Amino acid sequence: MNKIQVMSEDLANKIAAGEVVEKCMNVVKELVENSIDAGSSEVKIELLDSGVREIKIIDNGIGMTRDDAVVAFQRHATSKLKTLDDLFHIDSLGFRGEALPSIAAVSHTTLQTSDGEEGTIVEIDGGKIVDVSSADIRKGTTITVRDLFYNTPVRLKYLKNLYTELANITDYVNKMALSYPNIRFILKNNEKTLLNTDGSGRLLKVINDIYGLDVTKKMVEINGGNEDYSLSGFISYPELMKSTKNSITVLVNGRVIKNNDIIRMITDSYHTYMPHDKYPIAVLLLDVDPILIDVNIHPTKMDIKFSKMNTLRELICDVISKSLSKLTLIPEASRTTRIENGVTSITNSYQKLYDNNEFDVTKKDEEFKEFEKMSLNLEVKIEEDNNYEVCDTDDGYDYDTVIDTSNDENRIKEMYPVGLVHGTYVVAENEDGMFLIDQHAANERINYEYYLKEMSNPKPNVMDLLIPINIELPSNEYIILKNNSNILTDLGFSLEEFGLNTFLIRAVPIWLPKGNEENAIKHIFEIITTHESFDLSKFVDKVAATVACKASIKANDFITLDDMRVLLSRLRKCKNPFTCPHGRPTIITYSKYDLEKMFKRSM
């Protein structure tokens, strides 16, 4: 008897479903993409219990004929690819022909569609068509998916909790709304509206619908391009930093993707503007000739391969860096952090209900009641906060006007020091308000830019040491350092081998901190010997940041008013006077209006 047999269609569909449909979000993604490909101007997503009980997608697209509606549930049936050449010029979101049969194989699915001339209802149970009948002729398509994974209990067991499933769906729909601001998206869960965009084509308005007005006011429009790529979108001020990369939305030819290389390009562009473990809010729209990308590398189509990655990196880094360099980035002191902490606290408290990551369908109603109760408490706290601005569809904000970054003069007005708080924070003022300056962070920024400039000098100024410095190293570090000795020579160091595993330093560049040369040299040696792959630009940056930190005024170092004036004057001349090399703010401000409001002079 032959051992190799052709799989049954039912088994093949269930295997395919395991690749395409892992969670509720995958179902929403595939169906919404079909609605967009159908030319819809409005897409509604209605969920029951985060989609576990039911997912309904309603669109006003071109619809389907009866024959197409039936054939659509066969494997590899698609209207988007005709020939092999089409695979290399994909301009639609879907193209594999796997989504509908995969979804239908693990659920009870109902398709109601009309092309405006005839209406059709197709009922599918576990991948098998059980009924085809006539329907009304409202143009568009409605797909209802009920009891997802009812016939694959193992996959149902590994669904995340309801809150996580809903968060994943919301995140995806948000990103699609950002990708297609000309389409109206409505997302509901258990009759509660979570998102409702207007489809007006204004990307900044969609950003407001998702993130709120406070974030919208701190977004900057970017535009740029080269021979291969066109880039547009919005990036946030560094003060809106996030702990995860979820707020970075990358769209390529209208397709939402997750690509770690592009996220790294974006975060690298914020270098020294925010800590290395923080992320900005960003919406980047990339347009590229389909021939330069490959979207057919994963069944979910969430990642793609790029050709000419170097030109893409140069474009992203250049556009974002130039935009940031023209902004005044002094954050205003406010109480919004307390609200954000409240959101995080409630989310964490809710998540504790699921520490074991178990899914219990019988408790879903109790779970949602608990979450909605905590959310309601948060809303009450927010409404009680006088500084919180409630945003609605008629907030008066001009979403067609964006921040102008073309003028880089007078990024910081002159500030006049008046005192020192806790031996750490300089208090200054001008006609705009009051400023608090972290003296260490400010001095660190000044020194960092000075050291970067000096280390980039092809002919560094050198100082001979009266007493040479003798540094002994472990044998492995000695070998690495000896192999990279030319780097130190180019920086202005004069060193020679001196006995076993030892270097003798006879001259150093003049930028090295006076009186602390030996410690600075040891830090530089450590940077060279602890990195597996050496990158000169990163090395110079790391050395500049390290030496700047060691050479700067520390907290609790009391300085005079004259010292403060010099510090503020030098800070104003920096290319980026707003953050230290590690991304911490150097200045925060209380506007004159804020001060008057806090003291009830302005009501």
* Model confidence pLDDT, tens digit, residues 99-149: 788 888 888 999 999 988 889 999 999 878 889 998 888 899 999 999 888
Of the residues 124, 147, 180, the one at which a domain ends: 180
Q: Are residues 223 and 119 in the same domain?
A: no
Residues 6+ apart with CB under 8 A from 464: 494, 506, 507
Helix (H) or strand (E) holding 544: helix 536-551
Q: Is the dihedral of CA 458, 461, 465, 466 positive or negative?
A: positive
Residues 110, 21 within the same domain: yes
Kindly state the tokens that stand for 147. Answer: 């009891």
Q: Does 319 share its domain with 340?
A: no
Kindly report the backbone phi and psi dihedral angles of residue 81, in degrees, each rounded to the nearest multiple of 5, phi listed first. -130, 130
Which domain covers residue 309, as residue numbers?
203-325
**Is 56 within 8 Å of 143 (Cβ atoms)?**
yes
Residues 174 and 240 in one domain: no
In a domain, 390, yes or no: no
The CATH number for 133's domain is 3.30.565.10
CA–CA dist 100, 349 (Å, integer): 37
The DSSP bridge partners found for residue 232 are 223, 285
In a domain, 602, yes or no: yes
**Residue 61, in any domain of the structure:** yes
Question: In whole angstroms, what is the distance from residue 95 CA to residue 84 CA?
Answer: 12
Q: What is the CATH number of the domain that holds 255?
A: 3.30.230.10
Q: What integer pLDDT is reported at residue 437 of this predicted model?
A: 94
Residue 404 lies in a domain: no
Examine the domain organization and report whether 499 and 577 are in the same domain: yes
Which pLDDT does position 463 carry in this prediction?
87
Which of these three, 180, 215, 245, is where a domain ends? 180
Q: Does 274 lie in the same domain as 167?
A: no
Out of 302, 325, 348, pick the residue that ends a domain.
Answer: 325
Note whether 586 and 466 are same-domain residues.
yes
Number of separate domains in the chain: 4
Residues 317, 295 share a domain: yes
Look at residue 126 and tell me if it is in a domain: yes
CATH number at residue 469: 3.30.1540.20
Task: Classify residue 28 as exposed, middle or buried by CB count within 10 Å of its CB (0-12, 13-18, 19+).
Answer: buried
* Same domain flag for 161 and 108: yes
Residues 102 and 61 placed together within one structural domain of the fold: yes
Measured CA to CA, the distance from residue 178 to residue 185 in angstroms comes to 10
In a domain, 482, yes or no: yes
> Both ends of the chain: CA-CA distance in Å?
89
Each as own residue / partner, the long-range contacts of residues 559-565 (CB below 8 Å, 24 or more positions apart, any chain) are 559/420, 559/439, 561/417, 564/417, 564/420, 564/426, 564/428, 564/439, 565/416, 565/417
Convert the pLDDT of each residue in 240-259 to its tens digit: 888 888 889 998 888 888 88
Q: Is the same domain home to 129 and 236?
A: no
Same domain, 125 and 231: no
Do residues 163 and 371 touch, judged by C-beta distance below 8 A? yes
Q: Which amino acid is at 80?
A: K
Residues in the chain with pLDDT values less than 50: 17-18, 81-82, 84, 86-90, 94-96, 335-362, 364, 367-368, 371-394, 401-409
Is 448 part of a structural domain of the chain? Answer: yes
